[in-house]
Structure formats: structure tokens, C-alpha cells
């Protein structure tokens, strides 16, 4: 199934509008191209309506927020909603500053997201605080492990139900859940955390996967998470003793470029809970 999802990305080549941080934006663009999608970036409030209208998906990432961009995020999000486009939120740093946390809450209030992707700490911040999602028990551990996986899955499903979105919590074990079903994903390599922006890249790619497979957002998001982790595994095997995190970054994008549906089907490591 994940193989056909990737095939759809390659076939439909969705154009993805990214309002994202300036730290990792180039890698986001290149990984979108690598997976078969196309990137476009625009964060000026007066530009985003036109740009998001010609796209299939919108990726909102709050990594280097500024006030003008917040306004662009809301305008673009509402426009994308009205056009029934896929919209994803990456709440980078929610919980780390008041501006980021409150912006994430505002976005959750004003925009309907199809997918929310973050680490456990960011997702807990979102789940515990927003008006519309208040009531979700975010009293789970700060790291998802085999031991607390059931609790984390229950939390992800509960937040998915409240937010009406697929929730992707990424870490050593990734959880991708809607209200009823969760994929627990084991792909990836610890060295991925030594590269800036693997999470941002995954968010961009997830937007493309869901935009190309709008009828199965849970599976599409899970396929994107598996693809990123699998690319991390494939790329790690290529590393020579002198290669470090910069070469690894390039090789991960390269691995997405070459990833085949068969490779993804075979390499995806997950269980459903």
C-alpha cells in the first residue's frame, strides 16, 4: 500500500506551498523534488492567496516566526481550507516560547489541519493548551519508548480525535495516528538527529504524500514517515568513515530521489495499534 502511495506522489507531482523557516527551506525544496513533488515558497500576506490557490498542499512550519509571516500563515491556511487542499502544521518550538506556542494555538483555532507533525514535546504542548483541543490528557512521557508506547498511542489518538487531524509524533519510535488507528514506525537512524531539518523535510514531504493521496491521509502520512526513516537507513549505509552529518544530509535526499515503491514496501517497518 505504501508503495502505491509513493507512486501517486510521483504520478501526480503535487505542487506544495511552503511557509517555512529560512534555516532548512532549501532542503525542504530539494526533498520535495526528490520525492516527485514540486515546491513553491511564499510568505508575504499579499502573495499567499494566489500562490496557495495553484497548489495541492500547504505546509506551515513555525520555525523562524515573524509577525508578518504569522498573518500569511493564517490567510494561506484559510484559503487552502476553502479549496479543500491538504494543510499540514509543523509546530517547531511550540512550548519553547510564548509566541510560538500561542501562534500554534491560533493556527489550530483558525485553520483546519489535515496533519500535525512534531516531536512529542511540541505535540503535548498543542494538545494540552489549545482552546479547541483542551481536555486531552497530555500527561505522557517526554520520550516515546517500547515501554510507554501504548500510552503514547492513546494520547495520539485522543488528540487526533479532538483536532480532527492525523497526528504524527516523530522520534526514535514514530507514531502516526488518527482517532482510531495508529502506525508505530521503527524506520530511521539515530544519526538523523545530527542533521538540522530532517523534521522540516519530513513535514514538507508529508504534505506532498497526503496531497497526492487525499483519500487516505493516515496511510499517506505514515508512508512519508517510513520513507524518511528508510532514506535515513539507506543513506547511513553509504557513509564512508570520513563522512559526517553534512554528507549524510545530502545522501538522505539522494535516497528519497531513488526510493522505489518496492523498496518502500519492503523496507517499511511498522506495526498497527
With both helix axes pointing from N to C terminus, report the angle between 67-82 and 45-53 in degrees, rounded to the nearest 10: 30
Q: Is 54 among the residues that bind its own copies (CB under 8 A)?
A: yes
Q: Looking at residues 62 to 81 of the shown chain, list those that interact with its own copies (rule: CB under 8 A).
A: 63-68
Cβ count within 10 A of residue 234: 19
- Smallest distance from the beta carbon of 164 to its own copies, in angstroms? 28
Q: Is 245 among the residues that bind its own copies (CB under 8 A)?
A: yes
**Residue 176 DSSP code:** E
- State whether residue 113 is helix, strand or coil: coil
Q: Is 257 among the residues that bind its own copies (CB under 8 A)?
A: yes
Q: Is 178 among the residues that bind its own copies (CB under 8 A)?
A: no
The values of phi and psi at residue 240, to 5°, are -90, 170
- State whether residue 49 is helix, strand or coil: helix
Comparing CB distances to its own copies, the nearer of 110 and 243 is: 243
Give the three cell numbers for residue 30.
530539494
Q: Is 47 among the residues that bind its own copies (CB under 8 A)?
A: yes
The values of phi and psi at residue 54, to 5°, are -90, 5
Give the Cα separation of 226 and 229 in Å (integer). Answer: 5
Q: Is 83 among the residues that bind its own copies (CB under 8 A)?
A: no
- Smallest distance from the beta carbon of 253 to its own copies, in angstroms? 4
Q: Which residue among 1, 33, 149, 186 contacts its own copies (CB under 8 A)?
A: 33
- The answer to whether 116 touches 107, Cβ cutoff 8 Å, is no
- The answer to whether 37 touches 76, Cβ cutoff 8 Å, is no
Comparing CB distances to its own copies, the nearer of 21 and 222 is: 21
Please, where are the H alpha helices in 54-142?
67-82, 98-110, 120-129
- Contact string (CB under 8 A) for its own copies, positions 181-220, x = contact: -------------xxxx-----------------------
Cell numbers 502511495: residue: 5
- Smallest distance from the beta carbon of 48 to its own copies, in angstroms? 8
* Number of residues this chain uses to bind its own copies (CB under 8 A): 57
Q: Is 27 among the residues that bind its own copies (CB under 8 A)?
A: yes
Residues that bind its own copies (CB under 8 A): 21-27, 29-30, 33-34, 39-44, 46-47, 50-51, 54, 63-68, 93, 96-100, 194-197, 234, 238, 241-247, 249-258
Amino acid at each position: 500500500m505504501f508503495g502505491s502511495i509513493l507512486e501517486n506522489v510521483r504520478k501526480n507531482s503535487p505542487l506544495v506551498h511552503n511557509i517555512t523557516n529560512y534555516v532548512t527551506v532549501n532542503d525542504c525544496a530539494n526533498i520535495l523534488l526528490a520525492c516527485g513533488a514540486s515546491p513553491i515558497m511564499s510568505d508575504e500576506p499579499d502573495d499567499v492567496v494566489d500562490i496557495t490557490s495553484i497548489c495541492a498542499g500547504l505546509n506551515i512550519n513555525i520555525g523562524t516566526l515573524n509577525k508578518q509571516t504569522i498573518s500569511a500563515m493564517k490567510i494561506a491556511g484559510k484559503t487552502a481550507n476553502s479549496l479543500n487542499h491538504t494543510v499540514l502544521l509543523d509546530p517547531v518550538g511550540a512550548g519553547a516560547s510564548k509566541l510560538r506556542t500561542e501562534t500554534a494555538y491560533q493556527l489550530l483555532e483558525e485553520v483546519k489541519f489535515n496533519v500535525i507533525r512534531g516531536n512529542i514535546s511540541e505535540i503535548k504542548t498543542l494538545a494540552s493548551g489549545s482552546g479547541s483541543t483542551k481536555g486531552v490528557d497530555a500527561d505522557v512521557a517526554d520520550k516515546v519508548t517500547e515501554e510507554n508506547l501504548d500510552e503514547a498511542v492513546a494520547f495520539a489518538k485522543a488528540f487526533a480525535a479532538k483536532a480532527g487531524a492525523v497526528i504524527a509524533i516523530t522520534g526514535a519510535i514514530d507514531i502516526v495516528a488518527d482517532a482510531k488507528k495508529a502506525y508505530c514506525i521503527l524506520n530511521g537512524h539515530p544519526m538523523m538527529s545530527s542533521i538540522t531539518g530532517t523534521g522540516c523535510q519530513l513535514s514538507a514531504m508529508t504534505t506532498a504524500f497526503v496531497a497526492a493521496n487525499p483519500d487516505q491521509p493516515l496511510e499517506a502520512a505514515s508512508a512519508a514517515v517510513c520513507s524518511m526513516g528508510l532514506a535515513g537507513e539507506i543513506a547511513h549505509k553509504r557513509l564512508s568513515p570520513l563522512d559526517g552529518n553534512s554528507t549524510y544530509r545530502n545522501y538522505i535526499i539522494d535516497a528519497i530521489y531513488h526510493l522505489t515503491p518496492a523498496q518502500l514496501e519492503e523496507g517499511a517497518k511498522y506495526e498497527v495499534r
